[in-house]
Copies of this chain bind each other. A is one copy, B any other.
Amino acid sequence: MRVAFLGLGTMGWPQAANLCAAGHELTVWTRDAGKAERFAHEHGATAAGSPKEAVAEAGVAITMLPDSPQVEEVLDDAEPPEGSLVVDMSTIRPSASRALAERLGERGVGFLDAPVTGSRPKAEDGTLTIMVGGPAADLERARPLLDAMGKLVVHAGPSGHGSMVKLINNTLAAVNAAGLAEGITLARAAGVDLDALGEVVGSGSGSSAMLELKAGPMREGDFEPLFKLEHMLKDVRHCLAEARALSLELTVAGAAESLYAAADTEGFGGQDFAAVIRSVERD
Are B283 and A169 in contact, CB atoms less than 8 angstroms apart? no
Are B168 and A197 in contact, CB atoms less than 8 angstroms apart? yes
What are the residues of chain B within 8 A of A206 when measuring CB–CB? 168-173, 176, 209
Of A9-17, A49-57, A253-261, the stretch lying at the interface with chain B is: A253-261
Instruction: Give a binary string over A232-256; 1 marks a CB under 8 Å from any B CB, 0 the rest.
Output: 0000000100110011111111111
The answer for the CA separation of A54 and B161 in the assembled complex, in Å, is 62
Of A21-29, A62-70, A184-192, the stretch lying at the interface with chain B is: A184-192
Closest Cβ of chain B to A92, distance in Å, is 15
Residue of B nearest to A201 (CB): B169
Of A30-38, A82-90, A102-110, A150-158, the stretch lying at the interface with chain B is: A150-158
Closest Cβ of chain B to A278, distance in Å, is 13
Are A200 and B252 in contact, CB atoms less than 8 angstroms apart? no
The answer for the CA separation of A204 and B115 in the assembled complex, in Å, is 13
Are B156 and A189 in contact, CB atoms less than 8 angstroms apart? no
Are B204 and A187 in contact, CB atoms less than 8 angstroms apart? no
Instruction: Give a binary string over A166-184; 1 marks a CB under 8 Å from any B CB, 0 the rest.
Output: 1011111101101110110
Contact (A200, B154) CB under 8 Å given A179-B171, A187-B168, A205-B117 = yes
Are B250 and A252 in contact, CB atoms less than 8 angstroms apart? no
Q: Taking A161-B192, A172-B180 as given, write out 6 further A-B residue pairs in contact, using a Cβ cutoff of 8 Å, ordered by the A residue number.
A: A94-B190, A152-B199, A165-B197, A172-B183, A173-B206, A175-B176
For the complex of A and B, list the 5 residue pairs with the smallest distance between their C-beta atoms, beginning with the closest: A172-B206, A175-B179, A255-B255, A208-B208, A173-B205
